[in-house]
Amino acid sequence: AAYAKGRPGEDSAWVEQHPASSCETRVYDDYQEMLEKESLEVVGVCLPFFQNPEASIAAARRGIHVLSEKPAATDLSDLARLEHQVRQSGIQYSIMLNMRTLPIFRAARQAVQQGAIGEPILISSQKSYKYGAKRPWFYRERKTYGGTIPWVGIHALDYMEWVSGQKYTHVAAYEGNKAHSQSPGCEDHAGLLLRLANGGTATCHLDLLRPEAAPTHGDDRLRIAGSEGVLEVWGIEERVRLLGPRGKSGDLPLPPAVDFFTAFVAELRGESQPLVSSVEAFDITRTCLKARDAADTGTWVAL
Amino acid sequence: AAYAKGRPGEDSAWVEQHPASSCETRVYDDYQEMLEKESLEVVGVCLPFFQNPEASIAAARRGIHVLSEKPAATDLSDLARLEHQVRQSGIQYSIMLNMRTLPIFRAARQAVQQGAIGEPILISSQKSYKYGAKRPWFYRERKTYGGTIPWVGIHALDYMEWVSGQKYTHVAAYEGNKAHSQSPGCEDHAGLLLRLANGGTATCHLDLLRPEAAPTHGDDRLRIAGSEGVLEVWGIEERVRLLGPRGKSGDLPLPPAVDFFTAFVAELRGESQPLVSSVEAFDITRTCLKARDAADTGTWVAL
């Protein structure tokens, strides 16, 4: 195995301490050099976000499978080039939508699929994180960070669709930065309004305003009101509560968690279906970038 | 005191049983007749919703103070005529935004005013009601009902502003009817996205999808993320939870409830400021009607 630094001067001492590291693990200053010298089957891509699509394209060109940080790209033209290269190369590509591994979202998805709330009609969600003292330099500008909708909102937009089984058709959005003016590209609040293909509605709100002293980093929530009942997912409490049609209500039992990396390797070996397919990875990234456009332009945008 | 039926055939037997009723209480078939024959100081207006502005105008013309069901009107032209007449007559006018009387919202407003969360940045709210078996005939059509944003959403739009002290500048919305097709004018779900004058964002979702067997009729929620902390109001649990800047968090003590009618009479007697002023009543109604326009047209609408 090999590791390439995000930039030449990076301190990579931690790599040697990593359980996956061995005496044969090579460290490179540059991913291009690593790709040339090593014979790799799969790479994990996690650079400053704007650099992820170029690195993924470089790997794909060599026929190397890619598991990338989300979003797949921070602008639509990079995304189109990446999609083209992944299709051409025939590699397997996925992004780290790791919330799909959580028992709470898996239980909720299964309940919806089993008809526990009838047809999903109104979906709402919350992502709330601490800003954190250690945001790296590339969070400061839109060009390098991409924006809070593609970086944070992508989880909520993904689990709203994945749990409900409903697709978005249009998006309106608004966002801004009021509490962290040193990072103008890192919006600290955003709201999204989406139309669903079945005529239903979705809303989502995001923030990086959670107090630093709060007991958890995040506070994820999902609610789906359907034609027959209401389902709610509470991240901090790790609870999924169902309010069913005939007063039948209570917490759902939770299945075991799935390991994201193990699942990706199983996919590569043909042992299982993708947890996040390349089509899904590109679609949800495109949705986020169009939602960012909707916020930038103050218009509804078709998806 | 006197009571006028909503329509001539109405069964008004309940009026005689009402604690405010006496042997001198007259019952009329028609409010015009009542206004002509009685000498009233104040009327409560609660007709099928589309008829409320006309009845309020008739009372205002005679110099009678009005406490009306919300919304003040179900279209913008009726609202403009009503505003004009109320100003001309110099009467006191208010609408039943009774959520302002609840200890939870009063405590939340006081905490924000005292700076508990710094500057409000991201506001979100939920109104969820049962549809109910007994919706009267006028809920079926937009023309007579007005819509779920003006009827249900008005509470959330009001308490988001009233608690946070922030004003809206623009709104986008989407809504529909999927579970109660017999009442096409009564949307059973809606989502709203609003920009705040300070650059912040608000979202709101409404539904009439709460299962009939649920333990309460409604499930109101309000959350405000500010520059210094997060405040949440839980209607069912009657709790206001503050997550403050230095880990200082917990439930706020609740003040006593206020009686809406008593407060209005105190206002008429000059003993207190209005709980809901006529300007606020007209402004929030206009916001709701414009939000309905935003949903109808699929555009952002300036407020």
CB A211 within 8 A of CB B244: yes
Angle of helix A154-164 relative to helix A278-297, nearest 10 degrees, comes to 120
Q: Which residues of A touch B209 (CB under 8 A)?
A: 121-122, 225-227, 230
What is the mean predicted confidence (pLDDT) over B234-252? Answer: 92
Contact call for B200 and A178, based on CB within 8 A: yes
Region B169-195 average pLDDT: 96
Report the C-alpha gap between A101 and B177 in whole angstroms.
Answer: 33
Residue of B nearest to A175 (CA): B201
Question: Is there a contact between B213 and A172 if contact means CB atoms under 8 Å apart?
Answer: no
In which residue ranges of chain A is pLDDT below 50? none
For A83-114, the DSSP string reads HHHHHHHT--EEE--GGGGSHHHHHHHHHHHT
Instruction: Please name the residues between 202 and 261 in chain A that touch chain B, using a CB distance below 8 Å.
Output: 202-205, 207, 209-214, 223, 225-230, 243-249
Share of chain B above pLDDT 90, in %: 89
Cβ B229–A211 below 8 Å, yes or no? Answer: yes
Average pLDDT over residues B33-47: 95
Counting one residue from chain A and one from chain B, the pairs whose CB atoms sit within 8 A come to 167
A258 close to A265: Cβ distance less than 8 angstroms? no
pLDDT at residue B249 in the model: 86
Q: How far from each other are the two terminal CA atoms of chain A, in whole angstroms?
A: 39
**Residue at B34: amino acid letter:** M
**Res B246 pLDDT > 80:** no
Contact A241, A231 (CB under 8 A): yes
**Residues written for chain B:** 303
* Mutation to test the B interface, candidates A148, A174, A222, A246, most B Cβ within 10 Å: A174
CATH architecture of A99-256+279-302: 2-Layer Sandwich (3.30)
- Chain B residue closest in CA terms to A170: B298
The A residues from 169 to 188 touching B (CB cutoff 8 Å) are 170, 172-176, 178-179, 188
Q: Which of chain A's residues have a Cβ under 8 Å away from the Cβ of B203? A: 124, 191-193, 203-205
The closest alpha carbon to A199, from A167, A229, A173, A231, belongs to A167
Candidates B172, B190, B225; nearest CB to A172 = B172
> pLDDT value at position A8?
78
Tens digit of each residue's pLDDT (9 = 90 or more) over B110-158: 999 999 999 999 999 999 999 998 899 999 999 999 999 999 999 999 9
| Interchain CB contact of B15 with A (< 8 Å) | no
pLDDT at A242: 97
Which of B121, B246, B299 lies closest to A189 in CB terms? B121
**Nearest residue of B to residue A195 by CA position?**
B174
Mean pLDDT, residues B270-282 taken together: 96
Domain B2-95, CATH class in plain words:
alpha beta
pLDDT at A19: 86
Q: How many angstroms separate the CA atoms of B101 and B264, rounded?
A: 12
Residue in the structure block whose two tokens are 């010298």: A37
Residue ranges covered by each domain of chain B: 2-95, 99-256+283-302
Using CB atoms, pick whichever of B178, B229, B230 lies closest to residue A227.
Answer: B178
Q: Assess B192–A contact: CB distance below 8 Å, yes or no.
A: yes
**Structure confidence at residue B20 as a pLDDT band (50, 70, 90):** confident
Q: What is the pLDDT of residue A9?
A: 81
* Segment B11-24 mean pLDDT: 86
**CA-to-CA distance for B257 and B271, rounded, in angstroms?**
18
> Which pLDDT does position B138 carry in this prediction?
95
Output the DSSP codes for B2-56: EEE-SSTT---HHHHHSTT--TT-EEES-HHHHHHH---SEEEE-SSGGGHHHHH
Decide if A201 touches B, using CB distance below 8 A: yes
pLDDT at B245: 84
What pLDDT is recorded for position A247?
Answer: 67
CATH value of B99-256+283-302 in 3.80.30.20, 3.40.50.280, 3.30.360.10, 3.90.78.10: 3.30.360.10
